[in-house]
Amino acid sequence: MLKLKKALYSLKQALKAWYSRIKGFFIKGGFEKCSYEHTLFLKHADRGKCLIINLYVDDLIYTGNDVELCEKFKESMKLEFDMSDLRKMKYFLGVEVQQSCEGIHLCQMKYAGEILERFGMGGYNPVKNPIVSGTKLIKDGGEDSENSTLFKQIIGSLMYLSVTRPDIAFVVCMLSKFMTDPKTSHMAAAKRVLRYVKRTTNLGVFYRSAENSEDDLKVYTDSDYAGDVKDKRNTFGYVFF
Amino acid sequence: MELKNATSVDSLHNRSVAAVACACHSIWMKRVINSLGFSFCKCVKIFCDNSSTIKLSKNPILHGRTKHIDVKFYFLCDLVKEGAVELIHCGTREQVADILTKPLKLESFTRLRDLLGVQSIKTINRLVSKCSLGEDILETSCFR
């Protein structure tokens, strides 16, 4: 029997090992772990200075209100880890970021282009909306089955795209219910979403910088009663501002 | 008549469940924001287009139609009483969450998409070119 001395990449324990490694380093550096969000670390210095770090596996974003504090953090990280500094955030996990004084714009233009190319959407006509209003898709409508691997690939790609595209989130969620046995109509609906994406590749969410920071958090919630024709399931959604 | 009754009850239940799920999420969001050092976030405003849910959350009178509503709903009532969340009625035109629940007509789809803050990069570039460049806000680092 062999005993592992260190965590190997792709072992299931590797994730935990990495997380405790970096967490230990942050805690030692005077950071506090946010108790409501495990990947968020905060450091408060005197005179209201603070540094916020958000971690995604081995990528991290940081922001702060003091240049000195940020520089110091960067130096300490370079000493501890083999790290490359990408300066101002422009590209993170496939999301293109554009920052300005007006706000932050997130989009996945490049990724959308790649999806369209991958599924050969070059010859299709672009459309204005991802789904025709009043469409009811049913599970078993006596149609021919389609290639379920291709369908799964399309839905998977679209799901990642919906990170910055809440406008297609509903359709993608609805179509993902038919992943086990997609029929002709489901494939047609998925193709329609791709045609919509083709028309609107450059759309993304824009977080406007608040003019009045006294505003409370606003949430819109809505639900659709028994929207599913066959099993009468309900749908609900909510949006934060 | 009976069928209509059943719908109203279940529709109310459905919307209440949505409101409760939404309230839970907003409480979490509020805590994260507060831990980041922002103190503005005291009461979360939840906009809902069902007035019975709102009425019931303020004044939980149980009668024949609402008897089946369970412990989740009492949780919502408690949150409203504490002042952690507030349920507000809003018209269908302003209901942004509609885009996440049903297939919409093109006109309302584009209107709600704009309200959601989904904008084209060209519009943003036009906006940005008007104002002077801001300071570096977020920086990324990645380990190799």
Strands A83-88 and A59-64 turn out to be unpaired
* Most confident option among A66-75, A191-200, B122-131: A191-200
Start-end of H helices in chain B: 2-35, 51-58, 71-82, 106-116, 121-130
Contacts A–B by Cβ distance under 8 A: 245
Whether residues A110 and A80 share a domain: the answer is no
A84 in B contact zone (CB under 8 Å): yes
Whether residues A76 and A111 share a domain: the answer is no
pLDDT computed for residue A190 by the predictor = 87
Last residue of a domain, one of A22, A50, A85: A85
Cβ contacts of B105 on chain A, cutoff 8 Å:
133
Minimum distance, in Å, between the CA of residue A124 and any CA atom of chain B: 20
Interior/surface letters A94-112, b for 16+ CB within 10 angstroms, e for the rest: ebbbbbbebbbbbbbbebb
Q: How many CA atoms lie within 13 A of B109 on its CB side?
A: 21
Task: Tell me phi and psi for residue A29, to 5 degrees.
Answer: -80, 10
The model's confidence at residue B134, banded by pLDDT at 50, 70 and 90, is very low
Minimum distance, in Å, between the CA of residue A107 and any CA atom of chain B: 8
How many distinct structural domains can be found in chain A? Answer: 2
Question: What residues make up the domain containing A216?
Answer: 106-240
**Tens digit of each residue's pLDDT (9 = 90 or more) over B10-48:** 666 777 777 788 888 888 888 887 777 776 667 788 887
Strands A103-107 and A40-44 turn out to be unpaired
Is residue A7, in this structure, part of any structural domain at all?
no
Cβ contacts of B10 on chain A, cutoff 8 Å:
225-226
CB-based contact A202 B121, cutoff 8 Å? yes
Domain ranges in chain B are 2-91
B49 in A contact zone (CB under 8 Å): yes
Q: Which of A97, A220, A240 should one mutate to test binding to chain B, selecting the residue with the greatest count of B CBs within 10 A? A: A220
**Tens digit of each residue's pLDDT (9 = 90 or more) over A95-148:** 888 777 777 888 888 888 888 888 887 788 888 888 887 777 777 777 777 788
Whether residues A68 and A165 share a domain: the answer is no
Whether residues A123 and A55 share a domain: the answer is no
Whether residues A81 and A113 share a domain: the answer is no
Is residue A101, in this structure, part of any structural domain at all?
no
Is residue A49, in this structure, part of any structural domain at all?
yes
Whether residues A23 and A54 share a domain: the answer is yes
Whether residues A72 and A116 share a domain: the answer is no
Sign of the torsion formed by the C-alpha atoms of A62, A68, A71 and A73: negative
In the predicted structure, residue B141 carries a pLDDT above the cut 50? yes
Instruction: Return the structure tokens found at A1.
Output: 């029997």
The pTM of this model reads: 0.77
3-state class (DSSP) for residue A52: strand
In contact, A137 and A172? CB cutoff 8 Å = no
Whether residues A116 and A222 share a domain: the answer is yes
Whether residues A137 and A45 share a domain: the answer is no
CB-based contact A166 B37, cutoff 8 Å? no
In the predicted structure, residue A198 carries a pLDDT above the cut 80? yes
Start-end of H helices in A36-147: 67-80, 109-118
Whether residues A150 and A220 share a domain: the answer is yes
The residue of chain B nearest to residue A65, with distances taken between CA atoms, is: B137
pLDDT computed for residue B131 by the predictor = 54
Whether residues A219 and A135 share a domain: the answer is yes
The one-letter amino acid at A172: V
Whether residues A75 and A122 share a domain: the answer is no
